[in-house]
Structure 1
């Protein structure tokens, strides 16, 4: 991928990470900006798949009112929550 392709992909991901629900935006957008680029390709793919989930499910998982059935989704939810706790 060229630098231009990476920039376009990052913009696309920014819009997919921006959910319009403050509780999700304050988790997903900083994670994308500060962590995503340092993730392995496999973890980046897991993050992209997480963004395909519905907002009510994401909200429930991030508020720790349930767990995703998909292990990869659970892994990413935990990673994002732990990142916030570390700050």
Structure 2
């Protein structure tokens, strides 16, 4: 199960088709991923499965994420990256 969310695979999955998402996701993995709980790592992995246009809309505040766990992770990522 550890391979499911290895940091290297996760960082690779953060390379998206949109530079704006790369700028948010890659630093988060570098700076905060190791401190996430096992459950939060799984939630972050689920977030990375979402299509780029949806992620962009959620991270930029254009749309609300309809999934509470993913919405909480979006907010957590934004808080960590802005800090």
Asked whether the two chains share a fold, i.e. TM above 0.5, the reply is yes
Query: 2:81 pairs with 75, 81, 84, which one?
Result: 84
Q: Structure 1 length normalisation: TM-score?
A: 0.86
Structure with the larger RCO, 1 or 2 (CA within 8 Å, 6+ apart): 2
- Structure 1: runs of 5+ lacking an equivalent: none
Aligned residues: 83
Moved over 2 A (4+): none
Aligned to 2:22: 25
Q: Structure 2 length normalisation: TM-score?
A: 0.89
Mark the structure with the bigger radius of gyration.
Answer: 1
1:28 CA displacement: 0.3
Contact 2:16 2:22 (C-alpha < 8 Å) held by counterparts: yes
- Structure 2: runs of 5+ lacking an equivalent: none
